Chains A and B, each alone.
Chain A
């Protein structure tokens, strides 16, 4: 029973601290310049995150020790939390207003009464300050500091062997895709077969881009993996047969368009859109 109560308190704490404060309109503003100091390449380590972990540890530390009745450590974590919270509030001047030092001190005072219920109640005020900033800033920070940019990636076009920007490459892959479908629609199977060769080599070239951001090969099972192989094999089978079957042809086109292009866009393009806004 006591364990259950403890877990509930911890859960409440986690929810207050991490769950975003709901707001219908979300603004994804570029994070302030001064935050860059705490991320690579300006800093060797992601110092902002480390600071977050420190606060989080002391916050949690108060409750863990209250439960264990290790009051000496309750007091230690409460003091450290206030100290780190103050320190964090000075790191990014533009974000100063997110912090409420009084709420942090009030929480520390409540914790020092060593009454778990009182501490739980006082944690709400402090937790809200964490949650508000997370809700408003975390997505921007991820887009800025955790998502590599597709705009800085070049791709070697397998046909011309020239290096081109990623989005230009998307343009050319998309027009060679159309070369296949448009010609097929017109019954020009010979041309469609030629276009398929070009399109396939462009599509395969995409496989060389994954390793510019991913350090495991496993990701290539998606978008450029078996589904794509199956679709290409099916397409060339139809185009090389005497009488291509449109049903089978369009099914494979759909497979490529969906599990290849679309799914990759759904995962990777959201952040690309955000970054593009900021680059303008």
Chain B
């Protein structure tokens, strides 16, 4: 059977109208959303979103952000074994505010009563005054939104990372916590079919809240010899807070030094614990000098710097060097 040309034209026509319609809708949603009357928006709203739902609910649309958050330490701030042990099975009242915050607003939050296993979740950080607050002025048909410039500022992190925030503030470095720990990439805020095409691409911050790495040129290590001394210095050159840094966690750097004599035998050793809780962490851009008196004739020193994060007892080697006289 031969297809009637009329029907063909009709399809083409409808297609054209569709494309034009989509273009108009795209323009409306992305550029002129204030033209859409509130009553129309009501139809698209999903009231469940405003009832402080678990993160899974947000993943219906914000799938990529959800998956990233799932990989973050924030999502396990309440279920972490280490935390459960340290908080005496979560009975220490002082330990609850930052690990199960109700609402984050630039100061120490109060703890919440519901959905504690979600840890620090989407609603804690975004749901304020019955709106989803975020960095953008945009239209989200399913829920009201509000642009709040604090989302791209360090003080939102400083609600809980209070000590780190103070350290950062003192350095006067402009890079924010988000710049390094939530690096942005162009992409869609939502993955739900329809929404993802209707909304333009934007910068999306990495919700894995990346830990950060100490690289060769971040912490500078220098060493040398004097008559009866071995000297070594460490300088945190690029990281605008102490290294390591912590509020209630106990991350550490261990500096091990072994001294060898002419025969190649280890005759002495030394150790430094570089830890925020012991107030020995490396400040920003200031050289910290360690000095060891040598009692034997030493020809060689082996130096190793190891890192242990707040949430683990495993150490990884950051730097290893052999220094000969």
Contacts and interface: CB of A to CB of B under 8 A. Distances in A.
Interface of A: 39-41, 44-46, 145, 148-149, 152, 158, 163, 201, 204-205, 207-208, 210-215, 217, 220
Contact of B250 (A149, A158, A208, A220): A208
Nearest to A206: B278
Given A45-B113, A158-B271, A217-B163, A208 B91 contact: no
Given A215-B95, A220-B279, A204 B273 contact: yes
B317 interface: no
Contacts of A163: 313
A44 B113 CA distance: 7
B88 A152 contact: yes
B94 interface: yes
Interface of A (DSSP majority class): loop
Interface in B197-241: none
Contacts of A208: 250, 275, 277-278
Contacts of B45: none
Interface of B (DSSP majority class): loop
A210 B275 CA distance: 13
B250 A211 contact: yes
Given A158-B271, A217-B163, A41 B89 contact: yes
Contacts of B171: none
A211 B277 contact: yes
B279 A158 contact: no
Contacts of B250: 208, 211
Contacts of A152: 85, 88
B90 A40 contact: yes
Contacts of B279: 207, 220
A205 B278 contact: yes
Given A158-B271, A217-B163, A149 B88 contact: yes
B94 A213 contact: yes
Give the top 9 A-B pairs by smallest Cβ distance, nearest first: A208-B277, A215-B94, A40-B91, A207-B278, A211-B248, A204-B278, A41-B89, A44-B113, A148-B88
Interface string B157-198: 000000100000000000000000000000000000000000
B18 to A, nearest CB: 53
Interface in B95-139: 95, 97, 113, 116
A236 B121 CA distance: 49
Contacts of B271: 158, 201
9 contacts: A39-B91, A40-B90, A41-B90, A145-B91, A204-B278, A204-B280, A208-B275, A211-B250, A217-B163
B273 A158 contact: yes
A140 B89 CA distance: 20
B103 to A, nearest CB: 17
Interface string B257-295: 000000000000001010101111000000000000000
Contacts of B325: none
Nearest to A197: B270
